[in-house]
Structure 1
Amino acid sequence: QGEIKYPKHELPDNLSWGPDKWDEDYRDNNRINCYETGTSPCKAACPAHIAVQGYIRKAKEGKYREALELIKKDNPFPAVCGRVCNKRCEAACTRGTIDEAVSIDAIKKFVAEQDLHAETRFVPEVVIPSNVDKQWSQKIAIVGAGPAGLSCAYYLATKGYKPTVFEKNEKLGGMLTYGIPSYKLEKDVINAEIDILRDLGVEFKTGVDVGKDVTLDDLRKQGYKAFYIAVGCQGGRLPGVPGEDAIGTDMAVSFLHDASENHDRKLVGKTVVIGGGNVAVDCARTAVRLGSKEVGMYCLESRETMPASKNEIEETLEDGISVNNGWGPKEILKNEDGTVKAVVFKKCLRVIDPQTKRFSPVYDENDTITVEAQHVIFAIGQTIDWGDLLKGTKVEFHHGNYPVADSLTYQTAEPDIFVGGDVYSGPKFVIDAIEAGKNAAVSLHRFVQPGTSMTIGRNRRQFIELDKNNIVIDSYDTAGRQEAKELEGDKHSFRDLHGTLTEEQVKIEAGRCLGCGASVVDENKCIGCGVCTTKCEFDAIHLHREHPECSTMVRSEDKFKAILPYAIKRGMRIVFGKKTAEEKASQKKHKEAVKAAKAAKKANK
């Protein structure tokens, strides 16, 4: 790519700085997260914009605690994401244009594992103004203990708050606990991540259904100044076909919830899962583990366009599950006792309207198949169960029963109510919810501080991906992508058998990173102090004066030579200069104090 030139900020040196130059949002616009030349694609692609290149370098150097600290600046749950992230960073990895992408998620998992097994866990430092006594006094309530709510609580706690998280279930974690099967994410990992929130002072109240057991008005009377609603999408969608109410049908969310509570439950007979996303995959693989003798997935999409990730589909096939593409439900046939007998499917000819790009399936009603089944699980979408949570508030709703809120601040029409996560965006991935929770923490912090703007000076976290097609890669480590060894055990159990890279593998894999980020110095902000040159462990930073005639500054390397003559003269004046009686007495007193201190030190020896 060659030398990169970065734009300088315009300065008022020789310009007329009139009203046209005024920018009321200067504090934000002045903060450039990423120049037009771009940043590392992995960081730009990650919804949380984690400093991927940075923590991979730390891992390569064996500085795992520092790597973890860097990750947790943007993601408080690396052990969780190391197991269930959809890996958008790897999809964008520049190394993937050469051979295979860096196994970023596996490195993150290894780094997190070091902390999980450490005698002393990493607890982030709470950063709070010096004029505040230990913590902020404002009370903030978070409704929902899923990834969005927990992320919000974490970052509020690091800002000096003691938020309270209300969860209607008895266990924390939301969909992490009740929606993701243990063979992908074991519950002790979730609990270990949540323990850090407890160490930060976050309070949890489980078994409390806000809106039913206690209202928002009740909480306001208790002194809560702001609320973050992150209850997720806990309901399911029905296909709207005859027989969908048959005994033996179930919604994906409730099915996974029940399965997480009772691994001993048995599914007798054949199971049909309707849907093609990751949730449908989870249902199908869970059905196998609950004893169903034959499991089949049926979805509208083709194999290439299925919403489920490729590795999820591969593991589904390895479990002996059939994946049947291009079929939509037409009818659920019942036995005389009302139980499921079979499912009639019709051929799907098209899923997306090519003109509008919207979901608009077209079927051939005459091309059908009938599949015998005793259990049918609908995994075709999720809905929000609000209950009485927002009853009596000014919160507005739009299509799909989703709340209307500002896209930057997440603030609703009710000023003290903020929303986020799946309940605002619709069902997404864990990392999306984590980022939403972090942004909400910024908004809540600003809201409860009197006179603080919700937007001015706010870091919008906007990044531009490096143009991978316009860079020169001269040399790189030729090692192949490292894969973790699977653990031994029953592949159809609820135990997570996905292994972790060894330390040696991590070093090799981290060495495959091309380091395609960039170090940026804004010359109009650099004051030439030279501190960076002394702090860099690799002596990689040097200051050079391009126009010495334009400044009277002395290079740090020449400072001693420059000040030496003046230092000698000053020393001579101090030693031989005339002193007043007061100065002489002070000097004598100082000498006596030094002499006494030396004598005391000698006596102690």
Structure 2
Amino acid sequence: MYNTTHTEHKDFPPCQIACPILTDAREYVQFIAERRFEEAFASIRKLNPLPRVCGRICVHPCEIACKRGQIEEPISIASLKRFASDGPWANHYKVTLPEKSTGYKVAVVGSGPAALSAAHDLALLGHHVTIFEKLPLLGGMMAVGIPRYRIPRDILSADIKAIEDLGVEMKTGVTFGQDITIKSLKDDGYHAVFLATGLHLSRRLNVEGEDLAGVLKGVDFLRHVALGESVAVGKRVIVIGGGNVAIDVARTALRVGAQDVSMVCLEKQEEMPASVSEIDEAREEGIAILNCYGPKRFLEENGKLSGVEFKICTCLFDEKGAFCPRYDETQLTEIEADTVIVAIGQAADLSFIKMDNIAVTERGGLKADPTTLQMPISGVFAGGDAVTGPATAIKAIAAGKKAAISIDLFLRGESLPTAKQSEMPETRRLPERIVEKAKSMPRCKAQTLSAESRLPNFDEVATGFTEIEAIQEAQRCLHCNLGARLNHELCIGCGTCAKVCPLEIPSVDADGRADIDIFQCQACGTCVAECPVQAIDINLCPRGYIVCEVEKGLRQSQIDDSFTVGLFSQYGNFTSNHLDALGRDFPQVVPVMIFGMERVSISDLLRTFQLGADGILMAEAPEEKPPFPGTRSLIEKRSGIAKEILKLLGLGEERLILYTMPKEGLFEESWLARTIEGIRSLGPNPLRKGAGTA
């Protein structure tokens, strides 16, 4: 990425502001568009210790905030995270640990996302960290609460292994409150303890017949299946609940032998807390969903469960918006079932609290300061779902990172963070005229296995993006806050920027003062290339970028003879394989990737020839791909002027070639070979050192 580092929240793009851990999604999305996949993964991994997992299960608040979503569907940021994290380049990522340990020992109880996140960051801060996990495997609810068809075990293991490689010690089969306590940990030399025990209990309905054989608890059911334990379900299964856990339970029931699975929930379909994609996939697998019904009682026949009697839910919330379901009990419905699995929510297992006098809240969670996560016991911190109640994996990761900061400060004897007002700006709405003018680029839909091939196995359902799909999806980014910035001291108020902008964003007032709204700007760079006094620049490809990239390319290729510069639009349909082939078959071509020819100025072209290039190829995106329609004439005009100057200098206008890339790839190979040969036939660029004079 070129010059996109920000230190102030006001410069953060909407996607980054929305992320609980402030992941710079814009940065790694741009890296993917540039075919720089290793750097994309590094961008993700520097803040997120569980990138592969989050690429699959994150609820992606970044997509809700995505500005592209004001025009059409938002960018598929989570799927792009998965693509960047799954590739072989991810194995090249290296973390630099402190040369010297602090000597402090920290115990982390639990191994879910909050625990792993805290352990990761504490290790990077130089502390010795030990994770204690009750279960026989690591990962918390990611391992025993989310089925393998959503998170394959090798994917989870890869993320955990990367944390273990930081020197984090991990112990399984250790029960807090029995095998270890806060006192025993401190006696063993641990200077701080972080409790991230998660939510491993199911909430009860408290209705008649709930204790009948055949009525199972959702969380327990998922855990037994994940651990490979025997789980008996009947042919007809009812799952009570409308969240993602209920969906997981229903789809898992199909995979362990159930033939007919129905979900029943209080919510209307649009009110269901489960994600839309999970609901759709459940229906594809044949799971029926009955909305607006709540259980009145479990039915019994000859001492066995025979079904459930349901009542209609007429209203879910009271006047204040609080959860307060109301029912019409005059209309009752009976549904037969061999097994019923209750999945209406999770609770914390706090059986350990008496051992160390650990404080809890009225809602049954661990009591910790919301800012520092410190508990009333000195040196003890708590975070994640065990404190907040059911939340998302990314919020748990954020809690772990917050805990690591507080624990580090505590160990160093410094003051802990204090609560402060968030300085994050709100996302504005794009004007309707911008929405109408913006180029439509439909969202790439991530592929899934067919419903028929999913059952009855636990193979991963989502197959992820191919490389070209990921690139095309990344090309949809609007480059928020990387657009035009105007230097008013240089601006002469000529209005050129307003005339050439394809989205008509710049304005000039009656006093000749120009203004460019960076929120609306989509960083095409047209105004930068056209401004007669160079009063405008952009962060995406600033002035000097092209020349710097040419110089860098020359250093890397070690070309000391004839060379041609290829300016390739990132919006073309080409992959890293095409770039590799270019380097292999045409080593004399120095490639420079830019986000469109709109940004290329006459000065950029002439300065490239000053560096000694024998020719320049300006490769525009395929005709159906340019994100800024209507700019082609300006690009042709600029190249025409540059050619006239080349002619006056005696270099020959044939050295500058503007062409449109094919529908797939960078060029037609025989055409490029002829073109390179044609440029070579013109002789060496006389401006290149050692080439003689014109």
Q: In 1, distance between residues paired with 2:354 and 2:23?
A: 34
The answer (yes or no) to whether the contact 1:263–1:290 under 8 Å persists in 2 is no
1:435 aligned counterpart, secondary structure: helix
Alpha-carbon deviation of 1:416? 1.0
Q: In 2, distance between residues paired with 1:472 and 1:50?
A: 30
Alpha-carbon deviation of 1:93? 1.2
The answer (yes or no) to whether the contact 1:146–1:173 under 8 Å persists in 2 is yes
Q: In 1, distance between residues paired with 2:544 and 2:20?
A: 31
1:136 aligned counterpart, secondary structure: coil
The residue type equivalent to 1:391 in the other structure is M
Say if 2:329 is the partner of 1:365: yes
The residue type equivalent to 2:476 in the other structure is R
Alignment match, 2:305: 340
Alpha-carbon deviation of 1:60? 1.4
Alignment match, 1:19: none
Alignment match, 1:386: 350
Could you list the runs of 5+ residues in structure 1 that have no partner in the other structure?
Answer: 1-30, 524-535, 543-605
Please list, as runs of the form range in 1=range in 2, the aligned pairs for 1:183-202 lying within 5 A after superposition: 183-202=149-168
Q: In 2, distance between residues paired with 1:254 and 1:365?
A: 30
Give deviations 1:431-470, integer Å, cap 9, x for gaps: 11111111111111111112x11026x9987522331335
Alpha-carbon deviation of 1:65? 2.0
Please list, as runs of the form range in 1=range in 2, the aligned pairs for 1:77-226 lying within 5 A after superposition: 77-114=50-87, 117-118=88-89, 120-126=91-97, 128=98, 134-226=100-192
Alignment match, 1:42: 15
Q: In 2, distance between residues paired with 1:472 and 1:322?
A: 43
Q: In 1, distance between residues paired with 2:354 and 2:400?
A: 19
Stretch of structure 1 that moved more, 262-271 or 490-499: 262-271
Alpha-carbon deviation of 1:237? 1.1
1:125 aligned counterpart, secondary structure: coil
Please list, as runs of the form range in 1=range in 2, the aligned pairs for 1:45-60 lying within 5 A after superposition: 45-60=18-33
1:385 aligned counterpart, secondary structure: coil
Alignment match, 1:439: 402
Q: In 2, distance between residues paired with 1:463 and 1:125?
A: 30
Aligned partner (choices 454, 462, 465) of residue 426 of structure 2:
465
The residue type equivalent to 1:125 in the other structure is T
Alpha-carbon deviation of 1:472? 7.6
Q: In 1, distance between residues paired with 2:393 and 2:36?
A: 26
Alignment match, 1:590: none
Alignment match, 1:349: 314
The answer (yes or no) to whether the contact 1:266–1:292 under 8 Å persists in 2 is no
TM-score, length of structure 2 as denominator length = 0.66
The residue type equivalent to 1:499 in the other structure is T
The residue type equivalent to 1:345 in the other structure is F
- CA, structure 1 residues 537+286, in 2 after alignment: closer, same or farther (shift >3 Å)? closer
The answer (yes or no) to whether the contact 1:123–1:196 under 8 Å persists in 2 is no
Alpha-carbon deviation of 1:45? 1.7
Say if 2:370 is the partner of 1:407: yes
- CA, structure 1 residues 383+359, in 2 after alignment: closer, same or farther (shift >3 Å)? same
The answer (yes or no) to whether the contact 1:252–1:378 under 8 Å persists in 2 is yes
Please list, as runs of the form range in 1=range in 2, the aligned pairs for 1:254-293 lying within 5 A after superposition: 254-262=220-228, 265-293=231-259
Alpha-carbon deviation of 1:518? 4.9
Alignment match, 1:482: 444
Q: In 1, distance between residues paired with 2:484 and 2:178?
A: 53
The residue type equivalent to 1:194 in the other structure is I
The answer (yes or no) to whether the contact 1:247–1:339 under 8 Å persists in 2 is yes
Give deviations 1:265-297, integer Å, cap 9, x for gaps: 452321111111111111111111112111111
- CA, structure 1 residues 468+124, in 2 after alignment: closer, same or farther (shift >3 Å)? farther
Say how many residue pairs are matched. 485
Alignment match, 1:235: 201
Alpha-carbon deviation of 1:189? 0.3
Alpha-carbon deviation of 1:33? 3.7
Q: In 2, distance between residues paired with 1:265 and 1:412?
A: 38
Alignment match, 1:454: 416
Alpha-carbon deviation of 1:478? 3.9
Q: In 2, distance between residues paired with 1:240 and 1:465?
A: 42
The answer (yes or no) to whether the contact 2:108–2:195 under 8 Å persists in 1 is yes
Structure of higher RCO (CA pairs closer than 8 Å, 6+ residues apart): 1
Alignment match, 1:427: 390
Say if 2:21 is the partner of 1:63: no
The answer (yes or no) to whether the contact 2:353–2:359 under 8 Å persists in 1 is no
- CA, structure 1 residues 125+476, in 2 after alignment: closer, same or farther (shift >3 Å)? farther
2:186 aligned counterpart, secondary structure: helix
2:356 aligned counterpart, secondary structure: coil
The answer (yes or no) to whether the contact 2:375–2:382 under 8 Å persists in 1 is yes
Q: In 2, distance between residues paired with 1:304 and 1:497?
A: 24
Stretch of structure 1 that moved more, 301-310 or 66-75: 66-75
The residue type equivalent to 1:467 in the other structure is R
The answer (yes or no) to whether the contact 1:53–1:517 under 8 Å persists in 2 is no
The residue type equivalent to 2:202 in the other structure is G
Alignment match, 1:418: 381
- CA, structure 1 residues 119+256, in 2 after alignment: closer, same or farther (shift >3 Å)? closer
- CA, structure 1 residues 418+266, in 2 after alignment: closer, same or farther (shift >3 Å)? same
Give deviations 1:132-157, integer Å, cap 9, x for gaps: x6211000000000111001111111
- CA, structure 1 residues 238+318, in 2 after alignment: closer, same or farther (shift >3 Å)? same
Alpha-carbon deviation of 1:389? 4.7
- CA, structure 1 residues 113+459, in 2 after alignment: closer, same or farther (shift >3 Å)? farther
Alpha-carbon deviation of 1:403? 2.2
Q: In 1, distance between residues paired with 2:464 and 2:439?
A: 22
The residue type equivalent to 2:351 in the other structure is G
Q: In 2, distance between residues paired with 1:537 and 1:284?
A: 46
- CA, structure 1 residues 518+459, in 2 after alignment: closer, same or farther (shift >3 Å)? farther
The residue type equivalent to 2:307 in the other structure is A
Q: In 1, distance between residues paired with 2:321 and 2:347?
A: 22
Q: In 1, distance between residues paired with 2:122 and 2:544?
A: 36
1:348 aligned counterpart, secondary structure: strand
- CA, structure 1 residues 61+518, in 2 after alignment: closer, same or farther (shift >3 Å)? closer
The answer (yes or no) to whether the contact 1:79–1:109 under 8 Å persists in 2 is yes
Alpha-carbon deviation of 1:479? 3.2
The residue type equivalent to 1:344 in the other structure is E
The answer (yes or no) to whether the contact 1:145–1:174 under 8 Å persists in 2 is yes
Q: In 2, distance between residues paired with 1:227 and 1:507?
A: 43
The residue type equivalent to 2:394 in the other structure is I
Alignment match, 1:510: 474
The answer (yes or no) to whether the contact 1:138–1:448 under 8 Å persists in 2 is yes
TM-score, length of structure 1 as denominator length = 0.76
Q: In 1, distance between residues paired with 2:27 and 2:420?
A: 20
